[in-house]
């Protein structure tokens, strides 16, 4: 098998596994209060210093287009889960901040959601999970530069 064919086969396997796992996690998502995409925004902000990030930097962490992220952020802000502030270092930029209510909702959903993730990933042994993490991190770093 050529290197190109092996790369395509590996990509297809990775992509199909991701789609399959995401569909299962969406079906098991533990709340109707927020969607999986909304949870992803709260999750990414929860991992940032002071639970905030410029919207353009948040966009890099999500699997959505920039206009979709902006609409999603607006909906979450309207519900009091996020706060939008002007970036003091750049008047054109917007900082998105996780509110206390947003953080509480994130924490309430995170525990049952992580249980679902563990269930879906249970087909892999601990050493396989570590290898998968190392390989996907290596791939991502090589593309990000």
Rg of the chain in Å (alpha carbons)? 17
Q: Which tokens is 21 given?
A: 């796992």
What pLDDT does 89 receive?
83
- Give the alpha-carbon dihedral of 24, 64, 79, 74, to 10 degrees: -170
DSSP letter for 32, please.
S
Q: Are 8 and 96 in contact (CB under 8 A)?
A: no
Could you give all domains of the chain from N- to C-terminal order, each with its CATH number?
3-144 (1.10.10.10)
The confidence band for 62, taking pLDDT boundaries of 50, 70 and 90, is: confident
What pLDDT does 87 receive?
87
What pLDDT does 65 receive?
75
Q: Which tokens is 134 given?
A: 């190392």
Q: Which tokens is 81 given?
A: 């889960």
Q: From the centroid of its chain, how far is CA 141?
A: 17
What pTM was estimated for this model as a whole? Answer: 0.86
- Give the alpha-carbon dihedral of 44, 50, 52, 53, to 10 degrees: -90
Answer with the residue of higher pLDDT: 119 or 92. 119
């Amino acid at each position: 098998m050529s290197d190109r064919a092996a790369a395509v086969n590996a990509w297809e396997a990775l992509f199909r596994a991701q789609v399959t796992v995401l569909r299962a996690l969406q079906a098991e998502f533990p709340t109707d209060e927020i969607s999986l995409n909304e949870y992803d925004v709260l999750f990414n902000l929860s991992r940032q210093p002071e639970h905030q990030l410029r919207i353009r930097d948040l966009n890099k962490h999500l699997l959505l287009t920039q206009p979709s992220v902006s609409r999603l952020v607006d909906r979450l802000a309207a519900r009091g889960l996020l706060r939008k502030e002007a970036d003091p270092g750049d008047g054109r930029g917007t900082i998105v901040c996780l509110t206390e209510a947003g953080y509480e909702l994130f924490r309430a959903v995170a525990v049952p959601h992580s249980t679902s993730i563990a269930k879906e990933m249970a087909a892999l042994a601990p050493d396989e999970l570590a290898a998968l993490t190392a390989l996907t991190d290596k791939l991502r770093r090589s593309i990000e530069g």
